[in-house]
Amino acid sequence: MASEDELNDGETGDNAGPGGAGTAAEAAVPGAIRTLGELGLQQFAPYLMNRIMGRYNQTLRDRLNEEGLTTPKMRALAVLSVMDGLKINELSVYAVTEQSTLSRVLDAMEAEKLIRRQAAPDDNRVRNIFITERGRATFNALWPTMLASSEAMFVGIDDEERERFTATLQKILRNIRKHEI
Which domains, from first to last, does the chain contain? 44-176 (1.10.10.10)
Asked whether residue 83 carries a pLDDT value surpassing 90, the answer given is: yes
Q: What are phi and psi of 108, to 5 degrees?
A: -65, -40
- Nearest alpha carbon to residue 63 among 154, 147, 136, 155: 147
Q: What are phi and psi of 63, to 5 degrees?
A: -65, -40
d(CA 92, CA 103): 9
| 132-143 average pLDDT score | 96
| 85-104 average pLDDT score | 95
Q: Measure Cα distances from 98 to 131, 166, 177 in Å.
A: 19, 25, 15
Asked whether residue 40 carries a pLDDT value surpassing 70, the answer given is: yes
21-30, 54-63, 98-107, 163-172: segment of lowest average pLDDT: 21-30
Contacts for 12-21 with beta carbons within 8 Å, 24 or more apart? 15/39, 15/40, 15/43
Asked whether residue 14 carries a pLDDT value surpassing 60, the answer given is: no
DSSP-derived letter for residue 41 is G
Confidence at residue 126, expressed as pLDDT on a 0 to 100 scale: 92
d(CA 126, CA 113): 20
